[in-house]
Structure 1
Amino acid sequence: MSGIVCRAASIALTGLQGTTVMVESAISQQLPGIAIIGLPDASLAEAKLRVRTATSQAGMPLSDRFITVNLAPASLPKHGSGFDLAIALAALAASRHLPATGLADVAHLGELALDGALRRPAGLLSSVAAARNLGFLRAMVPESCAAEAALVPGIEVIAVPDLASAVAWYRGERGRGRAVSPETPTTASAEAETHDARADIADVVGQPEAVEAMVIAAAGRHHVSLLGPPGAGKTLLATRLPTLLPELGDEAALEASSIASLGGSPLLQLVRRPPFESPHHTASAASIIGGGQGIEIRPGAITRACHGVLFLDEAPEFPRTVLDALRQPLETGRIEIHRSRIRTVLPARVQLVLAANPCPCGNAGSPDTAVSCACTPRTRMSYRQRISGPLADRIDLRLTLHRVSKVLLDDPNEQRVTSSQLRERVVRARAIAAERWSGTGWTVNAEVPGSWLRSQRLRLPRADTAVLDQALARGALTLRGYDRVLRVAWTVSDLAGADRPRRTEVAQALVLRGGDLA
């Protein structure tokens, strides 16, 4: 039996990036045993015990000779138990329990139980999506999570409950494994929503200007900072922003779902609502940006919030190194993670919302409170400078809030709009922007480079940008700030249904950039 080399395919994930791993199995004339080589981690090295026990329980004991399992490419570190199914099938093929042909054409994903049953590996949806992108036409997955794998279009999913059924499928007994179509209906789950469905912008009382600013932010996917005393409604506004955002398109929903699948819970449907992440201010840089131990990369809050909202409450309380680490991904829409043995790129197309008090006690500059500020000028300055100038320069809308008076709170004639009503405005504005930027790769105004907005084709008349040009000339704006004001002006114009921004929209966008945190 020596000399037979059998190969089965699987997928290695580095963040969301997938690599084809060819599991090679060969038998040599040595004492019985199994060795796994190719830079496996501890959980993957333990697969030899799971595989030998599971194959025996399934009535297909492995060869009584030494089995060498190689995970190619050998230079790529591998981690996790998702290779168990491919290792078992390659070893069984080398032991003559099933034909070796066809194993390399199917991506095998699954963790083995000792009785031969298959369990869901972490990141199943991401692995199936990566397999499709790598050219695989079929993926074999545990039957318990076949509905999740079928969410990925363009690849046939073979669902098998256990190892014996997987072997029977390759033997031609197709009744032991079933193909799951991507169009197979799935049961919707209330837990699949990433944000409280009962939340509504109508909960915000007495802040009509701030509500309108949040509509502008939602329409153009602009970053927002909220400055105000405790109780002014900063957190309430931030948590209601996702309710104004439209549902994710197919491509964005698949990417957001792939990120969510890296956790331990299976998905029953694609993530259609924009995600919302609100880490505590004691969070480390790795938990916000992403990281991990050894060769395993775990996405941080900025990646989990991709296509949604990342809310940093009490922003000055975050370590400055954490805040400054956001600067690059806010510009590029991705985060690069470098480790000594591995490098990966994770998506980070988020809408950032910062909330801060004006000082440590929260009462500085607040005319509507009976409590005076007890902080020294130096303390107030030091507190506000915790948000660096380069980060603040990347914020499009800077709102200063005040506490709501009791008169407004009790006003019976106050008209409150709902999130669904405002979301319709946001959807219309985004449709206008998407049509304007069709063919460019951009879909919202926040993604458009300033050089494009200042080009001959889209440059606004001098009479309309005079106030903006003056602010740039006297140093009140950087060129980055100039471009961001233009983006907001285009969003205001889209909400109004105009063909382009005029002087009024440019002035409004410039005013909305006031109230700097730095």
Structure 2
Amino acid sequence: MLFKALSAAVYGIDANIIDVEVDFSGIQTQEDHFHTVGLPDAAVRESRDRVRAAIKNSGFAIPPTHITINLAPADIKKEGSGFDLPIAIGILGAYGALQLKDLSQFLLVGELGLDGSLRAVPGMLPVAVAARANGIANLILPAANAAEAAVVEGVKVYAVGSLTEVRELLNAAANGGIQTQPFKVETSKLLGELQHFHLDFKDVRGQQSAKRALEVAAAGSHNILMIGPPGSGKTMLAKRLPSILAPLSFDEALETTKIHSVAGVLDADTGLVTQRPFRSPHHTISDAGLIGGGAIPRPGEVSLANNGVLFLDELPEFPRNVLEVMRQPLEDGQVTISRASMSLSFPARFMLAAAMNPCPCGYFNDKSHECLCTPPMIQRYISKVSGPLLDRIDIHIEVPAVQYRELRSGTAAEGSAEIRDRVLAARERQRIRFVTAAEKIYSNAQMGTRQVRVFCELSADAERLLERAMQQQGLTARAHDRILKVSRTIADLDAQADINVGHIAEAIQYRTLDRSYWS
């Protein structure tokens, strides 16, 4: 007898519907002959042992026979343990243990324990999106995955804990309707809740210029590099950057949640990423860990930081080949990973915040410590970060050591709430500007060459100042555009429609590494 159930396979951050077809011969044998076809990976092939034990320990008597499982379409590779549940239900249906014969409105995903319990699997949000897109009304999945799947409206999500519960639910559907209420999540409430940050800029003493640079970076979503000696507060400042960023929109939250769901790092309690991510990988990370990869590509740190912040501390300590692979996502906002059998793209529109020492010992140009580094040592250290990568960082800011008087000052520092208000006002001006001009961008940092020419017009005095800086500092065309974008953001923070000389001058000062800093 042939029986069919529906499941899904995740590729990138999207999912495809998979038909799980089960057929048994009806001729009893001494032992099970369990064959799975349709390009299954090792985890799918091993499901026969989990499924057999789960069915037996759930109280169902299935005689040994020839069983064939076909996962269609057969030309797509299937991976993961999420096919356990649909395979088990298909076997029960083929042997007549289900009253419901048509499962076309039910999508089933979940890993089975040997006792028949259901365990969570990654990528449930893309599966729910695929179910809605294909008109499948009901989604049955492990209780631990219910919160993230219920974020998608238009699909009834049923959270179950065991194979027996799934059978009872399907039998209820065949006998007049399901009495169990689908799992609900109020997404507007999740995003509308007041966001609390444990780290606040009011804890940072001194460093007014660095705080200002971070404010400009947050207002325009600009990449920023902080240069300073050890203990000057670079990491402390970077960790407080999320507290002044604009809140996530629902579309941004959904896209970010899909990435975290596929990667298996989503918080199961909330089911939705409600704050902008802050990722801080160690400098020993590989290029695949940063960008993503694998036989079937998985998202890396740049994608996990999508719509948030990627913080790289001790930037020159990262292997050069690892840093160089960031150039594409910094420019394009996405990562494309190609394999012989497929090519997948992951969103990677993040804000890069990086920190570095000015030299190997860290005390070059520090008035309170003697630098022991020779010029060749300093040059080798700095050259670990290539010019093309530095060109893609809009703001370079010095973070000097904090003086004793500033550390012990009783004057209250400005908090994140006040800075964030100015950032939100500037972002709103950008939103109105780009919506009015029918541009599909959301911040000044996303402007292309055409938008820069339209929205960054300069007065004659500002034009002369920029020309002089280009000639004296030998700036590249990319650095020229970065200065204009940053000056546009500074003007937005000042609520000015036009970019004046002061805005250009401040933006030029944020190009520290384009000057002769180490000479």
Matches within 5 A, 1:130-149: 130-149=130-149
1:454 aligns with 2:465: no
**Which residue, 405, 408, 415 being the options, matches 2:406?**
408
Alignment deviations for residues 76-111 of structure 1 (CA, whole Å, 9 cap, x no partner): 222111111111222222222225654233321111
Identify the match of residue 273 of structure 2 among 271, 274, 288: 271
Of 109-118 and 223-232, the range deviating more from structure 2: 109-118
Match of 2:42 in 1: 42
Q: What one-letter code is carried by the residue in structure 1 that aligns with 2:184?
A: S
Q: Write out per-residue CA displacement over residues 225-270 of structure 1, whole angstroms, 9 at most, x where no aligned residue.
A: 0111112211111111111112211111122223333326524242
Residue 479 of structure 1: aligned partner: 477
Bigger shift: residues 175-184 or 50-59: 175-184
1:28 corresponding residue in structure 2: 25
Task: Report the Cα offset of residue 467 of structure 1.
Answer: 2.0
CA separation in 2, counterparts of 1:411 and 1:421? 20
Comparing 463-472 and 179-188, the one that deviates more: 179-188
Write the distance in 2 (CA, Å) between the matches of 1:113 and 1:176: 26
Displacement of 1:38: 1.5
SS in 2 for 1:454: helix
Letter in 1 for 2:501: R
The aligned residue for residue 344 of structure 2 is 344
Assess if the C-alpha contact under 8 Å between 2:39 and 2:76 holds in 1.
yes
Q: Is the 8 A contact 1:83 1:111 kept in 2?
A: yes
Indicate which of 417, 421, 431 corresponds to 2:418. Answer: 421
The corresponding residue for 1:510 is 508
- What is the aligned partner in structure 1 of residue 487 from structure 2? 489
The letter of the residue matching 1:503 is: V
Task: Give the CA deviation at 1:421.
Answer: 1.3
The residue that corresponds to 2:5 in the other structure is: 8
Q: Deviations over 1:361-387 (max 9, x none)?
A: 111122x21x32111111101101110
The letter of the residue matching 1:440 is E
User: Does the CA contact (< 8 Å) of 2:9 and 2:78 recur in 1?
Assistant: yes
Q: Tell me which amino acid in the other structure corresponds to 2:337.
A: I
Give the Cα–Cα distance (whole angstroms) in 2 for the partners of residues 409 and 250 of structure 1. 40
Displacement of 1:200 in angstroms is: 0.8
Q: Give, in whole Å, the separation in 1 of the partners of 2:149 and 2:385.
A: 42
Distance 1:143 1:415 in 2: 47
Letter in 2 for 1:491: T
Question: Which blocks of at least 5 consecutive residues in structure 2 are unaligned?
Answer: none
| Alpha carbons 2:457, 2:498 under 8 Å: kept | no
Cα displacement string for residues 11-31 of structure 1 (whole angstroms, at most 9, x for unaligned residues): 111231212211111223554
- CA separation in 1, counterparts of 2:170 and 2:513? 66
How many percent of aligned residue pairs carry the same amino acid? 38
Structure 1 residue 443: deviation in Å?
1.0
Q: What is the SS of the residue equivalent to 2:427? A: helix
Q: Where do residues 272-421 of structure 1 align in structure 2 (5 Å cutoff)?
A: 272-292=274-294, 294-295=295-296, 297-366=297-366, 368-369=367-368, 371-412=369-410, 414-421=411-418
C-alpha distance in structure 1 between counterparts of 2:363 and 2:493, whole Å: 35
- Name the residue aligned to 2:183: 180
- Which has the higher mean CA deviation after the structures are superposed, 32-41 or 211-220? 32-41
For the residues of structure 1 that align with 2:134 and 2:59, how far apart are their CA atoms? 34
| 2: CA distance, partners of 1:388 / 1:24 | 54
Question: Does the Cα contact within 8 Å between 1:227 and 1:515 map onto a contact in 2?
Answer: no
Q: 1:148 to 1:286 in 2, by over 3 A?
A: same
* Residues 481 and 135 of structure 1, relative CA distance in 2, 3 Å threshold: farther
Match of 2:82 in 1: 82
Q: Are the aligned partners of 1:165 and 1:176 in contact in 2 as well (CA < 8 Å)?
A: no
Instruction: Mark the CA change 1:33 to 1:279 in structure 2 (over 3 Å): closer, same or farther.
Output: same
Aligned AA (2:305): A
* Secondary structure class of the residue paired with 1:500: coil
Residues 185 and 236 (structure 1), Cα distance of their counterparts in 2 relative to 1, 3 Å cut: closer
- What secondary structure does 1:255 align onto? helix
Q: Please give the alpha-carbon distance, in whole angstroms, between the structure 2 residues aligned to 1:202 and 1:185.
A: 30
Structure 2 residue identity aligned to 1:272: T
Q: Is the 8 A contact 1:106 1:139 kept in 2?
A: yes
The structural deviation recorded for 1:343 is 2.7
Q: What is the TM-score normalised by the length of structure 1? A: 0.90
Aligned mates of 1:355, 1:143 — CA distance in 2: 41
When residues 112 and 392 of structure 1 are mapped into structure 2, their CA distance, relative to the original with a 3 A threshold, is: same
Question: What value does the CA root-mean-square deviation take over the aligned residues?
Answer: 2.6
Aligned equivalent of 1:53: 53
Aligned equivalents of 2:507 and 2:36: distance in 1?
61
- In structure 2, distance between residues paired with 1:72 and 1:274: 37
Note the alpha carbon deviations across 1:174-219, whole angstroms, 9 max, x for none: 457432234499999x9xx9xx932111122111111011011011
Bigger drift between 465-474 and 68-77 goes to: 465-474
Distance 1:205 1:74, change over 3 A: same
**Residue in 2 that maps onto 1:150:** 150
Deviation sequence 1:471-507 (CA, Å, 0-9, x none): 4456722221111111111111111111232222122
CA distance in 2, matches of 1:511, 1:48: 64
Q: Secondary structure at the match of 2:182?
A: strand
Comparing 108-117 and 441-450, the one that deviates more: 108-117
CA positional deviation for 1:423: 0.9
Contact 2:457-2:499 within 8 A present in 1 as well: no
TM-score by length of 2: 0.90
**Secondary structure of residue in 2 paired with 1:71:** strand
* Residues 238-247 or 320-329, more deviating: 238-247
Q: Secondary structure at the match of 1:157?
A: strand
SS across alignment from 1:510: helix
- Compared CA separation, residues 137 and 479, structure 1 to 2 (3 A): farther
Aligned to 1:442: 441
Q: Aligned ranges for residues 96-175 of structure 1 at < 5 Å?
A: 96-98=96-98, 101-171=101-171, 172=173, 173=175, 174-175=177-178
Counterpart of 1:408 in 2: which secondary structure? helix
Partner of 2:15: 18
Q: Distance in 1 between matches of 2:190 and 2:462?
A: 53
Q: CA shift at 1:442, angstroms?
A: 0.9
